[in-house]
Amino acid sequence: MKKSQIVVAKFGGSSLADTGQFRKVKGILDADPARRYVVPSAPGKRGSADEKVTDLLYRCCEKAGAGEDYAADLMKIRMRYQEIAAGLGLEISLEKEFAVMEQALADGAGAQYAASRGEYLNGILLAAYLGFEFVDAAEVICFDKDGRFEAERTNVFLKERLMEIERAVIPGFYGADDAGSIHTFSRGGSDVTGALVARAVQADLYENWTDVPGFLLTDPGIVGHPKKIDAMTYAELRELSYRGATVLHEDAVFPVRREGISIRICNTNDPGGTGTLICRETSPENEETITGIAGKKNFVAISIAKNRMNAQPGFCRKMLEAFEENAIAFEHMPSGIDTISVILSREEYNRKKEALMDSLRRLLQPDKITVDEDMALVTVVGKGMRSQSGIAARFFTALGMAGVNIKMIDMGSNEINCTIGVSNQDFETAIRALYDALVE
């Protein structure tokens, strides 16, 4: 007997911001019975002047911790959910849940607990509206007591719980440890929850519904109306998400990639659109030379110089030991014969720079250490770059014509990405120049 299709649908905050958006979501789910498992985010902004529910929850937590009055902020949150429920004609009260939350905040509940309530409450409303069963993520998404996510335990719990449930709503972003303490993924983590559910139920497709037509080739805030990508690989998505593209959380790739489950980025406001398909391999006719241009600001480059470095076995190991003993992760490590540079976030550097510098001097005894605290990273990603001649020439000519000074170049070993370092003030200029040269 042929297995029935299963689609997991995750809806972002903008897709569930108000009554009208809830109705759009129901229309999308009704249009395809295969959409059986739904992962909601907390309500997002209803307009540019509005606030996300998650931000209001963080503020309540901060004020509670400081002994300040947060009643007005909590009332804003309560009204958001009441308006949605009333607009949908739901005879449901969340007063019990708000009472529990108020007590928890008064008792010093942490920011992770507070932030998770946005998804939790939205999940209760959405399940009631759809007539789906509500499954609290705290019961099926597992963390250890130190807040580390436990992937395999989670997969077992989700499989067992959802096996007998035909249609369910599982709120995104959070889970819990064995003691019941709430832990969250990083911001945007509802994408990860959706991927975990897709893996557990062996979905045929994981749909991620948002407010853009698909994966755009670059940030529309920098380049007006950038081209949409029709199809891309998991590897390309991983590179772009890590480098700053915000359509999908960078960790959402792992659960579905191992199972070969494709992801489709869809637009809640245009459900008939084609979106962007993300899969293991793209067909040659869908393969673009450039899949995306992304980046982030505020990095630091630490350059270490030592004569005859290349003749000293273990030099790189000792350098990495300095970063390890200070629990610092880094982004890139370009090198020369007598010099090596390490690129890391400015925030990480500022927190631990004295200890890091002491470790580097003690372990390496360098001739010189220089620090550049003004660096942004811009990455061009595309599987098609492997087979296209002249890409590098266009790449660097465009930056030169735009007056952008390149501080660092790092070509990825998989040949699908090239990262450059530029000053923070040249970040937007570099992205526009690369888009014009490589796409337009």
What secondary structure does DSSP assign to 170-211, as a single string?
--SSEEE-TT--EEEPSTTTHHHHHHHHHHHTT-SEEEEEES
Q: Mean of the pLDDT values across residues 225-241?
A: 87
pLDDT at residue number 415: 64
pLDDT at residue number 147: 93
Q: Mean of the pLDDT values across residues 233-255?
A: 84
pLDDT at residue number 248: 85
pLDDT at residue number 426: 96
Q: How far is residue 409 from each of residues 51, 238, 321, 335, 343, measured CA to CA in Å?
A: 39, 20, 24, 10, 11
Q: What single DSSP character describes residue 227? A: P
pLDDT for 184-196, tens place per residue?
A: 999 889 999 999 9
pLDDT at residue number 413: 60
pLDDT at residue number 176: 97
CATH for the stretch 292-438: 3.30.2130.10
Given pLDDT bands bounded at 50, 70 and 90, which one contains residue 133? very high
pLDDT at residue number 237: 85
Q: Which of 4-18, 136-150, 315-329, 376-390 has the lowest mean pLDDT?
A: 376-390
pLDDT for 5-46, tens place per residue?
A: 999 999 999 999 999 999 999 999 999 999 999 999 999 999
pLDDT at residue number 2: 47
Residue 343 region by backbone torsions, left for phi larger than 0, else alpha for psi between -120 and 50, else beta = beta
Q: Say if residue 358's pLDDT is above 60.
A: yes
Q: Say if residue 199's pLDDT is above 50.
A: yes
The dihedral through the CA atoms of 391, 397, 402, 404 has a sign that is positive
Given pLDDT bands bounded at 50, 70 and 90, which one contains residue 395? confident
Given pLDDT bands bounded at 50, 70 and 90, which one contains residue 1? very low
Given pLDDT bands bounded at 50, 70 and 90, which one contains residue 438? confident
- Greater confidence (245 vs 323) lies with 323
pLDDT at residue number 235: 86
Q: Count Cα neighbours of 367 within 13 Å in the Cβ-side half-sphere.
A: 8
Q: Mean of the pLDDT values across residues 205-234?
A: 91
Q: Which of 192-206, 281-295, 348-362 has the lowest mean pLDDT?
A: 281-295
- Is 64:106 a contact under the CB 8 Å cutoff? yes
Q: Which CATH architecture has domain 7-211?
A: 3-Layer(aba) Sandwich (3.40)
Alpha carbon dihedral 357, 361, 362, 363, in 10-degree steps, equals 100
Q: Ranked by mean pLDDT, which of 26-30, 345-349, 388-392, 407-411 comes out on top?
A: 26-30
Name the residue ranges covered by the structural domains of the chain.
7-211, 292-438
pLDDT for 91-125, tens place per residue?
A: 999 999 999 999 999 999 999 999 999 999 999 99
Helix (H) / strand (E) element for 77: namely helix 71-87
Q: What angle do CA 385, 249, 269 make, to 5 degrees?
A: 95
Cα–Cα distance measured from residue 125 to residue 98, given in angstroms and rounded to the nearest whole number: 13
Given pLDDT bands bounded at 50, 70 and 90, which one contains residue 378? very high
pLDDT at residue number 205: 97
Give residue for tokens 């590897």: 235
SS3 call for 334: coil
Residue 47 has which token pair?
Answer: 């307009």
Identity of the amino acid at 154 = T
Phi/psi for 97 (5° steps) reads -65, -40
Cα–Cα distance measured from residue 170 to residue 140, given in angstroms and rounded to the nearest whole number: 9
Cα–Cα distance measured from residue 410 to residue 406, given in angstroms and rounded to the nearest whole number: 11
* Average of per-residue pLDDT values in the chain: 91
Q: Say if residue 414's pLDDT is above 80.
A: no
Q: Say if residue 383's pLDDT is above 80.
A: no
pLDDT for 268-302, tens place per residue?
A: 999 999 999 999 887 555 456 788 899 999 999 99
